[in-house]
Amino acid sequence: MALDNERARVAHLLRRAGFGPSEQELNEYTQLGFDGAVSRLVNYETQPLVPDRVAPEEVGLQVWWLDKMVHTARPLQEKMTLFWHGHLTSALRKVKDPNLLQAQNELFRANALGNYGEILRAISRDGAMIRWLDLQTNRKGAPNENYARELMELFTLGVGNYTEDDVDEVARAFTGWSATPDGQFVFRRMQHDFDQKTILGQTGPFDGDDVSDMLAASPTTARYMARKLFRYFAYPDPEPEVVGRLADVYLASSGSIKSVVEAILRSPEFSSDRAYRALIKSPTELIVGALRTLGADAVPPQAVQAMRLLGQELFNPPNVAGWFGNRSWINAATLLGRFNVLGAVAQQLGGPVMGGQPVTALLDGSTTSAARVQRVLDLLVDGEASQEERDALVAYADQAKGPQQLRGLFRLTMALPAYQLN
């Protein structure tokens, strides 16, 4: 079936530009039509900002952020916050201060679809990033190249598009960029190298902001970011002409991430068969999506440990390159883990975590096994299943009489291959 009707296209859109919709959300966005749905997503400031329902001081950053993702009325803003967290990474295990990671998270949220040059300027001043990539030890006469190298290799140009001399010179431009113990940016004038630098063929007394602007304006960065964003939202290995087209959007808009993301979502490639179910759900997408779809009222604290078991501990990406994503999410261990985690979510149906509504309410009055199966398939996988899968589910539903067995129907449906895909 793929994306042959408006509702399926909108559901696809909400999985990629968000974490999957609740039924009510899908109805609302479908009424807008696909184009209207894209407009609402990218212009998220028109939607209400849901106040924090839990405090990070009480539940920790991970549950706090997961709760935001589950309850947000601005799913693309949170999805982009997650993108930036995996792109401009920092991790608690080195930063060792959750206050700084929270501030960085808020920075990403505030600039979710911002201008990339401004984002680079801001992240170069971010307390967590300064500590994560050792900027505070970068001094005139003894530069630390860690931030300079990653800025070009992972944040902008990509490997092979700069020289070791460029790394040296960019490091010099960022000398003296440091932070106070509580993470406030401070420019240490005495440690800054004010001399001339030659970076990517240009010479001048550049500082960090100059470098951020220079790198953000580079056509190489435009292609790098266009490709990375397309892979995040649509499918791996985009065609060169698609990347080129999106890079043009980036350059024409002076680095507007909003323009690039909107172009991706409205592109024919995004709604193509190649894109449909082409990505494997990350643990965040898997768990948040299940909680959203099934109407969760809260994020169970166990979700934090589940995320770690599945390979995505928020605020602790594995290294500076972030999570590899897609196929790396599933192996023999994590596949079973995913089934178990989703089973644990299904087990909560009817309980306070899931809003307390009876399992039967989710079935919307359907009484026959076939109708119940269709209802659960509609909720979870756009109504799609092979005949074999459908028959097996109906056979199970024939014997599922009580709430516990009905929870099993949700659990089995979420174990379908289609549910693992975004």
Partner 1 sequence: MRLLRSRSLAFAWLAAGALAGGLLVGSAWYATSHNLTAGLLTNLAGQASAQEVAPPGPAAPAPTTSRRPTGEVTEITADPAAFTLRAEDGTLTTYRVLDTTVFMAGHDRPYRFELLKQGDQVVVRGGGAGKVDPAAAASASAQAGKGKGKQAQPTSAQDGELIARQVMVRPAGEKVKGKKGQAASAPANADDGGSDGTRQ
Calculate helix-pair angle for 369-381, 387-399, nearest 10 degrees.
120
Using CB under 8 A, pick the residue from 22, 99, 115, 334 that binds partner 1.
Answer: 99
Query: Considering the rule CB under 8 A, would residue 388 count as an interface residue with partner 1?
Result: yes
Which C-beta is closer to partner 1: that of 32 or that of 330? 330
Query: Considering the rule CB under 8 A, would residue 48 count as an interface residue with partner 1?
Result: no
Which C-beta is closer to partner 1: that of 4 or that of 332? 332
Neighbouring C-beta atoms of residue 192, cutoff 10 Å: 20
Q: State in angstroms the smallest separation of the CB of 73 from partner 1.
A: 25
Calculate helix-pair angle for 219-233, 75-87, nearest 10 degrees.
120
Using CB under 8 A, pick the residue from 184, 198, 202, 254 that binds partner 1.
Answer: 184
**Helix/strand/coil for 202:** strand
Query: Considering the rule CB under 8 A, would residue 54 count as an interface residue with partner 1?
Result: no
Interface of this chain with partner 1, residues 186 to 215, rule: CB under 8 A: 186-190, 192, 207
By CB atoms closer than 10 A (0-12, 13-18, 19+), residue 243 is buried
Interface of this chain with partner 1, residues 282 to 321, rule: CB under 8 A: 300-306, 309, 315, 318-321
Which C-beta is closer to partner 1: that of 21 or that of 183? 183
What distance in Å separates the CA atoms of residue 231 and residue 324, rounded to the nearest whole number?
A: 11
Residue 280 has phi, psi (to 5 degrees) of: -90, 135
What distance in Å separates the CA atoms of residue 121 and residue 213, rounded to the nearest whole number?
A: 8
Collect contacts of 390-395 with beta carbons under 8 A, ≥24 apart: 394/369, 394/370
Query: Considering the rule CB under 8 A, would residue 335 count as an interface residue with partner 1?
Result: no
What distance in Å separates the CA atoms of residue 289 and residue 23, rounded to the nearest whole number?
A: 12
Let me know the angle formed at the C-alpha of 161 by 159 and 167, rounded to the nearest 5 degrees: 80
Q: State in angstroms the smallest separation of the CB of 60 from partner 1.
A: 4
Which C-beta is closer to partner 1: that of 48 or that of 181? 181
Which C-beta is closer to partner 1: that of 320 or that of 363? 320
Spatial contact of 56 and 98, defined as CB atoms under 8 Å apart: yes
Query: Considering the rule CB under 8 A, would residue 419 count as an interface residue with partner 1?
Result: no
Query: Considering the rule CB under 8 A, would residue 56 count as an interface residue with partner 1?
Result: yes
Which among 86-94, 220-228, 286-294, 373-381 is the span making contact with partner 1, rule CB under 8 A? 86-94
Q: Which residues bind partner 1 (CB under 8 A)?
A: 56-62, 89-94, 96-99, 101-102, 132-134, 146, 150, 178, 180-182, 184-190, 192, 207, 300-306, 309, 315, 318-321, 336-337, 339-341, 343-344, 347, 388-389, 391-393, 395-396, 408, 411-412, 415
